[in-house]
């Protein structure tokens, strides 16, 4: 019943966290296996045995990133009103994009936007991941008690995600946390609810 054979000499989750950072900083195509294995502290065959191949590793890194580094998004959905959901999300997003202990920006944006020659599915995978978050937000907004009936929750969710992704682009370019929050200040003026 117990695991047989020689046990693994490294922590797979810790190694995955290192991989997240490398992918985050350099994108999928800009990251080589040497970059990865050096950062993870293991060698190539161990990585292949544990994670499959480079693309599998990337998908697992994104999954773990979505669960850990983007937990704030799920928490934002628990706010009682549409206005509070959106404000909570954009504020926490601006903070997450500029965490001093993490690469600037967002893995699911700078991981890969353009479909490389054979890596078209990478950009597509990330796009679907972002679309999933957008859909969850739209569903939540549709059920909010304070959303005026003339407001389309799908369009509003898309707008919020556009602000979030635009801020991610700015953060990747070195924008400060204060600058991102100033943008959120303005963006919130377009959101129905009590004015600031």
Nearer to a copy of itself, 57 or 163 (CB): 163
- 49-108 binders of a copy of itself (CB under 8 A): 105
Residue carrying the six token digits 């999928």: 28
Q: Does 123 engage in binding with a copy of itself (CB under 8 A)?
A: yes
Nearer to DNA, 50 or 179 (CB): 50
Q: Does 117 engage in binding with a copy of itself (CB under 8 A)?
A: yes
Q: Does 135 engage in binding with DNA (CB under 7 A)?
A: no
Q: Does 13 engage in binding with DNA (CB under 7 A)?
A: no
Q: Does 140 engage in binding with DNA (CB under 7 A)?
A: no
Stretch that binds a copy of itself, among 8-16, 61-69, 80-88, 183-191 (CB under 8 A): 183-191
Q: Does 11 engage in binding with DNA (CB under 7 A)?
A: no
Q: How far is CA 139 from the centre of its chain?
A: 19
Stretch that binds DNA, among 26-34, 106-114, 172-180, 182-190 (CB under 7 A): 26-34
CB atoms within 10 A of CB 77: 15
Per the document, the length of the chain is: 196
Least spacing, CB of residue 112 vs a copy of itself, in Å:
8
**9 binds, options a copy of itself, DNA, none, Cβ within 5 to 8 A by partner type:** DNA
**45 binds, options DNA, a copy of itself, none, Cβ within 5 to 8 A by partner type:** DNA
- 102-121 binders of DNA (CB under 7 A): 117
Q: Does 7 engage in binding with DNA (CB under 7 A)?
A: yes
Residues 186 and 90 sit within 8 Å (Cβ to Cβ): no
Least spacing, CB of residue 168 vs DNA, in Å:
23
- 127-166 binders of a copy of itself (CB under 8 A): 127, 130-131, 152, 155-156, 158-159, 161-166
Helices (H), 30-152: 33-40, 44-51, 54-68, 71-76, 82-96, 107-110, 120-142
Classify the phi-psi angles of 152: left when phi > 0, otherwise alpha if psi is within -120 to 50, otherwise beta.
beta
How many helices (H) and strands (E) would you count in the chain? 10, 0
Instruction: Say which residues have a Cβ less than 8 Å from residue 164's Cβ, sequence separation at least 6.
Output: 89, 90, 93, 106
Burial of 175 (0-12, 13-18, 19+ CB in 10 A): buried
């Amino acid at each position: 019943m117990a695991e047989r054979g020689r046990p693994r000499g490294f922590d797979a989750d810790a190694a995955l966290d290192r991989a997240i950072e490398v992918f985050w900083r350099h994108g999928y195509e800009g990251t080589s296996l040497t970059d990865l294995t050096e950062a993870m502290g293991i060698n190539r065959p161990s990585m292949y045995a544990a994670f499959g191949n480079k693309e599998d590793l990337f998908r697992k890194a994104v999954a773990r990133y979505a669960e850990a580094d983007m937990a704030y998004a799920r928490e934002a959905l628990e706010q009682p009103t549409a206005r509070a959901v959106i404000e909570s999300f954009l504020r926490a997003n601006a903070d997450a994009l500029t965490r001093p202990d993490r690469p600037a920006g967002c893995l699911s944006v700078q991981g890969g936007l353009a479909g490389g020659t054979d890596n078209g599915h990478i950009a597509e995978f990330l796009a679907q991941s972002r679309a999933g978050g957008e859909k969850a937000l739209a569903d939540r907004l549709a059920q909010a008690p304070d959303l005026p009936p003339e407001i389309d929750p799908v369009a509003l969710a898309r707008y919020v995600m556009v602000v979030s992704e635009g801020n991610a682009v700015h953060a990747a370019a070195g924008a400060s946390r204060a600058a991102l929050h100033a943008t959120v200040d303005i963006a919130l003026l377009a959101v129905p609810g009590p004015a600031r």
